[in-house]
Structure 1
Amino acid sequence: MPTLNWIGKEKVINHHQDVPFRILEPQYTFKNGKEETPTNSKNKIIHGDNLEALKSLLPEHEGKIDCIYIDPPYNTGEENWIYNDNVSNPKIKKWLGQVVGKESEDLSRHDKWLCMMYPRLKLLNKLLSKKGVIFVSIDDNELYYLKILMDEIFGKKAFVTNFIWEKRTNRENRKVISSRHDYILCYCKNTLNFGESIRQLPMTEEALSRYKNPDDDKNGPWKSDPATAQAGHATESQFYELIAPNGKKHLPPSGRCWLFTKEVMQEKIKANEIWFGIHGNNVPRVKTYLNSKERGLTPETIIFAENASTNEGAKKEIKYFFEGEATFVTPKPSKLIQHLLSIATTKDSFVLDSFAGSGTTAHAVLSLNKVDGGDRKFIMVEMEDYANTITAERVKKAIKGYGVGTKSVEGTGGDFNFYELGQPMFLENKVLNESVGVVKIKEYVWYTETATPYIAQNEAYLLGTKNQTAYYFYYEKYQLTTLNEHFLRTLNTNAEQYIIYADLCLLDKTLMDKYHIVFKKIPRDITRF
């Protein structure tokens, strides 16, 4: 498979492994319309570098995110990094200098953009569930580079489609060519069966109106669909003269064949599943019943503005939240994100947006939950300082309700936790950062071993048990700990195997084999994500 090369690629291809794991520091919980002392909410808004934040999500969410939507910088070459411009943000410049080195000074803006995107996409791929779907908004500036990049990271077979979104409905006369669309690349984690990940859209009122029952069919309302198909892959048995119940003869049009063999077609005619019109003289058509299955609309590659709004609609939407002020330059409309979520989520899906911007994705999740009674959860990451004043503030207003008078919108309900990206778990010399606290260290170690949430135990040093294995973390902040026979006599948990972390081990191999003990040295043997 062709791969994409650029200046600096060798420095970032494995950089996601070197990104420090940082703890998430809860700042507050927004619940019942106000900020409260942090409690447990599965919805998260995180302020911090999205590369490091994605790394911090791995212990709890690796392989568990069902839908990812990101709207990364479009890299248009304009001067300000606000949302969809070039890679000139000071934080990104600093990161490029540290990771790529002096070479970064000579990179083109395309090189910089690819360096920025590669490790983030690698971590997003790790977070995506087995049936997960990722959508990436982009325009012509980086579309073709992005497609090859995602083929390399997610796999060429994971490519589902490239959606075209009608972002504006009016002609842009100031340009040589009026651009009316953006792209949304779509990839699935499940490369064998996209049907397990991509869902039909809900039936619209217009689509439902097509189902009638003019002949009082016992199977209920139906609509008619063609009884023919393109003949390219047809078998000989699909070409024949069809005789209607009134004796009228029908042949498939040139280049077409019947959907069914003659025998199957006759069975369907007898079962009243073929429609010949009220008087029986029409071209035969197949009845498609409304109640035959959970019916929906097959998603189309073109997403029209009437179904997903426009850039202009998004700007108006954001103004409603902030008393007419355009606090964000180019947000996406929540209706567009709802459309994508309808394609790729169920009512209990986890949704992630690591370029959260104005919080549109969180708003879309909450709105869709209100529509269908779902319990989707969201995780938003925003690196800029407006994470609390714009991103979180919009979500608060979506939950409570916003607007005034005839333009007021009822709140969706819900809650979220707001986090700051905290200290690293390990210092540069690879020792534990003890200032993060023993509870955070225990949470981290337990996740590395079991990939499950940590629950505090009553027994000293016990992290927990799983699959007949007991995990102990024999750790003291101000002294070395030693795994010896004296420590073994303090254990109160019966298990088939014991994994024990400590600074030193004085047990002989015979005793460890006898009791199925595995020693892991602190910090050497603690897994780094």
Structure 2
Amino acid sequence: MTKVPHHSAAKVPDHTVTKGHSVTKGHTVTKGRTARNVALLAELFPACVTETRDPDGSVRTAIDLDLLRTELGEHLVEGPRERFHLDWPGKRDALLAANRPAGRALRPERDSSEDFDGTRNLFIEGDNLDALRLLQETYLSKVKVIYIDPPYNTGSDRFVYPDRFRERADDFRVRTGLRGNLATDGRFHSNWLSMMYQRLTLARTLLREDGVLLVSINDVEAAHLRRICDEIFGEANFLTQFVWLNEGNVDQQSTIKGMHEYVLAYARDLPRLGRPAIIDPNIADESKLFNDRIENSITKNGPANPESVITLPAGFPAWFDDGEITPRDDRYPKILDPITVRNGRLTAKARLRSGWSSRNLLELFIANGCTPILDAKGRTTTFALTDRGAIYYAKHREPDAGHVVSVLRNMGTTQQNSSMLAGWGIEFSYPKPVFLIEFLIRTFTAPHDDALVLDFFAGSATTAHAVFRANAADGGNRRFVLVQYPEPCPGFGTIAELARERIRRCGTEVADSPHHERWRRDVGFRSLRIDAPSLRDTPPEVRQEDLAAHADRAAPGRTDEDLLFDVLIRFGVDPAGHIARDRIAGHDVFAAGDLLACLSAAPPYTPELFTEVARRRPARMVLRDAGFTGDELRINAERLLGPGIDLRVL
């Protein structure tokens, strides 16, 4: 039986790069996390890079561990040596699962969406581990806030992230390596930790350098969660462990009534995280935190602030127009010389003795001719003498100054939010309060930062509701990506369907309520579903009689738009971005970002298509192999496009 290469491969190799173009055949997939890690190691330790041959004969880049050990020397810990770390059965398998490349695809579902073409929000239905793998290229280092409310470890067999909707529980457990989690099982904590570890490992790579992870958790796994976050994010990037007071139903008798949960917060890179720009809503209106001007005395005595003499020059400002202050030694600051003030200025120099909290800054103010200076936080600062002989500073508060405390009070209760959902005909147990999530989002995002918020345990879609409310309040342009598994749910079929209905209902309510004049009123969402890839793999060799079956790689029943979203994910183009439809030289074309895609095989491609695309100068062009009726146009395609356009053929 004779085997021949697919589609005249003798004339068109699987991968050719000529004049700045690449014509690619076969299954193109996004790089997995492992491939990126190898690339990072190669950059740090180029001497450790080598090549190895896979069983199929292909050559790939690899890391020489022996050389890497030599490079790291005494900083390497191996084997059974004692070290400080958290370990559990299944941890290694969880990490391997996280590092596997994405083998799934996102399919658009217009009928389940709201304003599919106009919105910038995404709702993804499917396993969140698959979703996190798929989003690695598209949203790598682009997410500002990740908020998740994962399933708590209750000791029941239902703790694990729900089994695939169309897959038996046993099959899912074999596939993921996760098993039951009864309290009597020795893997009571291990299963939950494995589930979280692989997802948080992938989530970290999606955060911006100034991004934040927020995880709701209770007492059962709070300590363990913090340990694995220390490992994944680095202990130095721990921000805080918020205590949320869930002050709902407290009249049930118990030994100790639990009234709180936690929100664990980690930064991607703590030094890059700006100060929150929101003030805790429990702060009284008369608080000085709301004053544009901060005033305080710099008199401060103690071991860290020993007495010293400061000389105020003539012309030093005072907060009174005219007057005299006589020398004194009975209280601080001690006044060593008579002070005379005329027209709000000292008429002669005077010495004062005390401990001082801002002596260096005061001396800078004096050296600057008693004109305003900037403190370490960039605030305009002045100093002046009061009629009681004290030296005060005055600082102008930044417009985005904030004040957040670690105990979150009066943020709503689960009972209140259950009642709100019930009013929309939605029954859901223990939804997180929308005001709690809104407060957290506004704490760590700026209104006009185009911040992306990710929630991959979406539940009833409280996070989407919170994003809508935050934007409506301050005119922001935040957007969200939500992921929810289609777990069966009475009344709605699945929780994913319930979540989409919640987004529709809350979006309408927020849009119809008073809101900021600059708000764009984007309360839609583009619904995508995780499915098998729309493009099938092409075997490296195909039998003569099977050539026709492999002429088109599109999976049966897939539309051009299905293929487009497969392409967007493969090439790292935002699936929530604007997608324009156009017609070029008689062919339907999609334009997304810097990419043009002609994914219909009919009519066949013509030279005029390439000539017109060359005139438009996209960065990339993607075509279907089945659109070429012969080898001549395919071979000449790059010449027709001209230099600088990356051509991909699927």
Tell me the CA shift for residue 314 of structure 1. 3.3
Change over 3 Å in CA distance of 1:228–1:369 after alignment to 2: farther
Does structure 2 retain, via aligned residues, the 8 Å contact 1:8–1:115?
yes
Q: Is 2:435 aligned against 1:335? A: yes
Does structure 1 retain, via aligned residues, the 8 Å contact 2:129–2:199?
yes
Aligned match for 2:147, one of 65, 69, 73: 69
Does structure 2 retain, via aligned residues, the 8 Å contact 1:3–1:149?
no
Does structure 2 retain, via aligned residues, the 8 Å contact 1:20–1:426?
no
Does structure 1 retain, via aligned residues, the 8 Å contact 2:296–2:393?
yes
Which of 99-108 and 142-151 deviates more?
Answer: 99-108
Does structure 1 retain, via aligned residues, the 8 Å contact 2:424–2:505?
no
Q: Secondary structure at the match of 1:143?
A: helix
Read off the aligned partner of 1:50 and give its amino acid letter. Answer: N
- Deviation track 1:128-180 (CA, whole Å, cap 9, x = no partner) reads 22322111111111111111211222223322222222222775663333322
Does structure 2 retain, via aligned residues, the 8 Å contact 1:239–1:258?
no
Partner of 1:475: 625
Tell me the CA shift for residue 420 of structure 1. 2.8
Tell me the CA shift for residue 70 of structure 1. 0.3
Tell me the CA shift for residue 113 of structure 1. 0.6
Q: Secondary structure at the match of 1:51?
A: helix
CA distance in 1, matches of 2:432, 2:179: 36
Partner of 2:499: 391
Change over 3 Å in CA distance of 1:415–1:337 after alignment to 2: same
Tell me the CA shift for residue 421 of structure 1. 2.5
Read off the aligned partner of 2:435 and give its amino acid letter. Answer: K
Does structure 2 retain, via aligned residues, the 8 Å contact 1:225–1:288?
no
Tell me the CA shift for residue 337 of structure 1. 0.8
Q: Secondary structure at the match of 2:123?
A: strand
Does structure 1 retain, via aligned residues, the 8 Å contact 2:299–2:332?
no
Change over 3 Å in CA distance of 1:297–1:16 after alignment to 2: same
Aligned match for 1:371, one of 473, 491, 495: 473
Q: Secondary structure at the match of 2:135?
A: helix
Partner of 1:16: 98
Change over 3 Å in CA distance of 1:500–1:341 after alignment to 2: closer
- Deviation track 1:39-69 (CA, whole Å, cap 9, x = no partner) reads 3421122222221222333343232211110
Aligned match for 2:189, one of 103, 110, 114: 110
Q: Considering only aligned residues, what root-mean-square deviation do their CA atoms show, in Å? A: 4.4
Partner of 2:545: none
Does structure 1 retain, via aligned residues, the 8 Å contact 2:214–2:265?
yes
Change over 3 Å in CA distance of 1:152–1:24 after alignment to 2: farther
Partner of 1:299: 404
Q: Secondary structure at the match of 2:532?
A: strand
Tell me the CA shift for residue 401 of structure 1. 1.9
Q: Is 2:120 aligned against 1:28? A: no
Q: Secondary structure at the match of 2:253?
A: coil
Does structure 1 retain, via aligned residues, the 8 Å contact 2:144–2:451?
yes
CA distance in 2, matches of 1:441, 1:344: 36
Tell me the CA shift for residue 341 of structure 1. 0.9
Tell me the CA shift for residue 498 of structure 1. 5.7
- Deviation track 1:182-224 (CA, whole Å, cap 9, x = no partner) reads 11111222344222xx4221586966645699xxxxxx96342
Q: Is 2:395 aligned against 1:288? A: yes
Number of residues of Structure 1 aligned to a counterpart in Structure 2: 464
Does structure 2 retain, via aligned residues, the 8 Å contact 1:30–1:396?
no
Read off the aligned partner of 2:296 and give its amino acid letter. Answer: D
Superposed counterparts of 1:152-301, under 5 Å: 152-168=231-247, 174-195=253-274, 198-202=275-279, 209-210=286-287, 222-227=293-298, 239-240=308-309, 246-247=325-326, 251=332, 257-261=356-360, 263-264=363-364, 273-274=382-383, 280-281=387-388, 284-290=391-397, 293-301=398-406
Aligned match for 2:160, one of 87, 97, 114: 87
Q: Is 2:642 aligned against 1:494? A: yes
- Deviation track 1:375-434 (CA, whole Å, cap 9, x = no partner) reads 2111111112433543122221212228xxxxx966976222233323235779989663
Change over 3 Å in CA distance of 1:5–1:11 after alignment to 2: same
Q: Is 2:124 aligned against 1:46? A: yes
Partner of 2:532: 423
CA distance in 1, matches of 2:97, 2:646: 34
Q: Secondary structure at the match of 2:138?
A: helix
Change over 3 Å in CA distance of 1:391–1:251 after alignment to 2: same
- Deviation track 1:300-348 (CA, whole Å, cap 9, x = no partner) reads 2222x23x23xxx332233223228771211111111111111111222
CA distance in 2, matches of 1:389, 1:498: 39
Does structure 2 retain, via aligned residues, the 8 Å contact 1:188–1:194?
yes
Partner of 1:355: 457
Partner of 1:513: none
Change over 3 Å in CA distance of 1:472–1:89 after alignment to 2: closer
Q: Which runs of 5+ in 1 are unaligned?
A: 214-219, 403-407, 503-529
Tell me the CA shift for residue 358 of structure 1. 1.4
CA distance in 2, matches of 1:449, 1:44: 18
Change over 3 Å in CA distance of 1:154–1:433 after alignment to 2: farther
Partner of 1:380: 482
Partner of 1:456: 597
User: Scaled by the length of structure 2, what TM-score is found?
Assistant: 0.60
Q: Is 2:221 aligned against 1:135? A: no
- Deviation track 1:94-114 (CA, whole Å, cap 9, x = no partner) reads 533223278999652211111
Which of 136-145 and 90-99 deviates more?
Answer: 90-99
CA distance in 2, matches of 1:470, 1:89: 39
Does structure 1 retain, via aligned residues, the 8 Å contact 2:125–2:483?
yes
| CA radius of gyration, larger in | 2
Does structure 2 retain, via aligned residues, the 8 Å contact 1:319–1:325?
no
Read off the aligned partner of 2:358 and give its amino acid letter. Answer: L
CA distance in 1, matches of 2:124, 2:96: 24
Read off the aligned partner of 1:224 and give its amino acid letter. Answer: E
Tell me the CA shift for residue 121 of structure 1. 1.2
User: Scaled by the length of structure 1, what TM-score is found?
Assistant: 0.73
Q: Secondary structure at the match of 1:184?
A: strand
Change over 3 Å in CA distance of 1:154–1:324 after alignment to 2: same
Does structure 2 retain, via aligned residues, the 8 Å contact 1:400–1:413?
no
CA distance in 2, matches of 1:295, 1:498: 43
Does structure 2 retain, via aligned residues, the 8 Å contact 1:43–1:417?
yes
